[in-house]
Structure 1
Amino acid sequence: MTTTARITWGAASARRLQRQFLASSARTGTPVADVVGAMLAAHAQVLSAAEVSVGIRSAEGVTRADVRAALWPGTAGAAGPPAAPGSSPATLVKTYGPRGTVHLLPAHDLPLWSAALTAVPAGTSPFPPAAQLTEEQARQVVAAIGDALDGTFLTIDELGEEVVARTGPWAGDLVMPAFQDMWPRWRQVVHRAGHAGALCFGPNRGRKVTYTRPPHFTPVTAREGLRALVRRYLHAYGPATPQHFAKWLAAPAGWAVRLYTELSAAGEIEEVDFEGAPAWVAAGDTVFPDEPARGVRLLPYFDAYVIAAQPRELLFPGAAHRRALAGGQAGNFPVLLVDGVAAGVWHQRRRGRRTTITVEPLGRLTARQERQLAAQADRVAAVLEAEAELVVGEVTVGPHA
């Protein structure tokens, strides 16, 4: 007779923080790509937030410059002109990841991510039938994007011209309402091109975003990719239910339940008791710390920990649920994390070489926690290559400000 392991929230939090380099930073010399791999991707819609997410987990001395060097080696960085791609291999790629949003991914994990993300069932198109791409047209556009970007950096307008030239005028029809404007039909599958390995982001050209093609790779099979992604997700954020996995991936819950059932029957994941309810971990991965999480961390917008760690009502207890979430959605406020749970919000404003970090705790901090908070503010500023000015008080800006 097997005994189901019983896991507490405190034990789960402590292990998650350890595995994401939030309990203690990565050792000196650990590549930033390995840090991103431990996070299972870093949300990068706002690149500076991703740089903080990665930097605070990395060894002392790692800054945003190290993240950009991993993304675009041989370039002047996100603010300068791009050099020719391929001068040296990138170890990070900025592309479309889970939930169809922009993430940093380790370059060596692209075969896994591509296979898994393209296997997630697509939702219903928000566009009327006359505006949609057929499946054949979508395949043509993705192939055209990859061909156009191979070995070069292009802005969105330059890329659009190349796509239309390679496919046909139908790809350029202005049928997509977007930001009080109309976008061409082909842009419906930009995220799909990212998932397929045909597109990723390059460094900005002045104020303009550029795109390029990541290094060529052969995806693993869809089954291999999904199996590996579930196991990695559970390694980083388990115990977790299929509903938690579906929410993190923006996938149908029923599909995730079937996937978990298949992996459980194959002995690749196993059920545990997590705070009195069934959840899953990777098979055999049932060792958890005896001591709960301790310490203070400042996590930026859409940090991987606050997005993926579940159940959310335990991560954002009491007043944190009202203050640190926006309509129940995590990530819109940078979070003060105390002993593994959300305990406040913060905001930073850069002026020249100085960044003012305003932190609003939701409870009283001990003297030790205040010292840790000051050290965290210094660390965030150092990642951003700035000097910190810490202010403890009310954060007056709204979500995602």
Structure 2
Amino acid sequence: MPAPAVDRQRVLAHRAVAHDLVAPGTGDVVLGVGLQDYPPGRSARPALSLRTGPGRPRGDLALVHGVRGALHLHRADDLALLRGALHVADGRDWSRQTMATFGDELAGAGITFAAALDEVAAAMATVTADGTPRTKGEVSGAISSAVDHRLAPWCESCGAAHVHDVLFRLATLHAGLTVQVDPALPSRFRYAGSSDGTRAATDESRAELVRRFLAAFGPAKPAHLAGWLGLRPAAARRWWDLVAGELRPVRVADAELWVHADDLDRVVDAPPARGVRLLPAYDPLTELADRELLAPDADRRRKIWQAVANPGVIWADGEIVGVWRGRTRKDGLTVTLDPFEPMSPAQRQALEPDLEVFRAAAGTTTATLAPA
């Protein structure tokens, strides 16, 4: 049976529904993959509130270093699964963008990445056992001399030997550490022990994480999974193969992409997306590798995804139609809009409920929309 053809607009419409952007929902799909939080404390919780509505109960949540070592907001009940999936054995599985050459260097020295994770995590658990929250510098300073020196190479920019940054971040997850953000000074977050570091079975955890990835970001292909996980293509393909028998192909333009069988009808029959939203920087909708599908125009892609400090995006009827940045001064938040095309008064008015979410997150008394 030939793969059904699905146009780009239908793919975007399906993702909008899955992400609870068309109508308030549970946020379960995005929580299943985690919501990236950057700057710390500023993006993940607003992104979740935009999907669920303010004040909806969501259960216990935890801010941890998840995929790629980046900070993500997850359900606390999912941390054992996340540890199981991200207990990577071979440092050579990490992409150069994620790990540079460090994973290869460990493998060349005969050290598995899993062993490195376990050693650093054990040291972290010992240091934080007294329950006192500690900054990254404090944890790093306490453990770097206590682990194999090959795990803590000399860092020219810091002028010190310390545990490799990505190894450090991933190890915090395995040590059972979560991140506590100071709203007044989010860059100075602290680590605190909040769980026992239980780890679920690796293959089962990876299979489930791939299913969740496809629920949030499908239709997709293994290369997209590799980009999201920060793995080399061959390593991501091994994860993909764990669920390959559950997937179905679709044709999007000239590409063969894949969805989970449970989602095939939802993709093929997705109704047009409607609505206008403000989404934060690093929102789950934009954190996939298929940027060309999300924004076919190269100039617009350069505005959406920048080398550092991505802006938020303006979303309308399934499309990213502009970007925005916020600035907090005294008691007021100003959101400066930079739409790709002129916005109607009705569209600007439709952004007011989302503006209120960002005002509450910023802790200001007022919030205004301003043109670029």
Q: What range is the shorter-chain TM-score in?
A: 0.7 to 0.9
In the alignment, structure 1 residue 55 sits paired with structure 2 residue 49 = yes
The residue number in structure 2 matching 1:111 is 80
Shift of 1:164: 5.6
Does residue 23 of structure 1 match 2:22?
A: yes
Cα distance change on mapping 1:173 and 1:339 into 2, 3 Å? closer
Matched position secondary structure for 1:48: coil
Matched, 1:300 2:280: yes
1:184–1:205 distance in 2 versus 1, CA, 3 Å:
farther
Correspondence list, 1:279-294, <5 A: 279-288=257-266, 289-294=269-274
Mapped contact 1:94–1:104 kept (Cα < 8 A) = yes
Tell me, yes or no, if structure 1 residue 102 matches structure 2 residue 71.
Answer: yes
CA–CA separation in structure 2 for the residues paired with 1:174 and 1:222: 28
Alpha-carbon shift at residue 183 of structure 1 (Å): 3.8
Q: Distance in 2 between matches of 1:292 and 1:248?
A: 26
Residue number in structure 2 paired with 1:363: 341
Is this contact kept in 2: 1:133–1:185, CA < 8 A? no
Check conservation: 2:94, 2:230, Cα contact below 8 A. Answer: no
Q: Is the 8 A contact 1:143 1:198 kept in 2?
A: no
Structure 1 residues without counterparts, runs of 5 or longer: 71-90, 395-401
For residues 20 and 226 of structure 2, the distance between their equivalents in structure 1, rounded to whole angstroms, comes to 24
**Any idea what the Cα deviations from partners look like across 1:285-322, whole Å, max 9, x if unmatched?**
212244211211111111111112x6322311335224
Change in 2 beyond 3 A, CA 1:297/1:221: same
Measured after TM superposition, the shift of residue 342 of structure 1 is: 1.5
**Counterpart residue number, 2:124:** 145
C-alpha separation in 2, matches of 1:205 and 1:299: 20
* SS of residue matched to 1:119: coil
Letter in 2 for 1:25: P
Residues 36 and 104, structure 1, Cα contact 8 Å, conserved in 2: no
The percentage of aligned residue pairs carrying the same residue is 26
Q: Is the contact made by 1:270 and 1:284 (CA closer than 8 Å) also made in structure 2?
A: no
Partner of 2:310: 332
Within 5 A, what are the aligned runs for 1:193-342?
A: 193-204=171-182, 208-264=188-244, 267-288=245-266, 289-308=269-288, 311-318=290-297, 319-326=299-306, 332-342=310-320
Sort the Cα spacing of 1:61 and 1:220 in 2 relative to 1 into closer, same or farther, 3 A: closer
Q: How many residue pairs get matched?
A: 352
Change (3 A) 1:303 1:141: same
* Coordinate RMSD, CA, aligned: 3.2
Q: Distance in 2 between matches of 1:107 and 1:341?
A: 32
TM-score, structure 1 as length reference: 0.77
Closer/same/farther in 2, CA of residues 256 and 205 from structure 1, 3 Å limit: closer
Tell me: CA distance 1:172–1:122, structure 2 relative to 1, closer, same or farther (3 Å): closer
Q: Which moved more, 1:115-124 or 1:361-370?
A: 115-124
2:148 and 2:82 map into 1 onto residues whose CA distance is 32
1:84 is matched with which residue? none
Superposition TM-score, scaled by structure 2 size: 0.82
Aligned AA (1:232): R
Cα distance in 2 for partners of 1:248, 1:164 equals 29
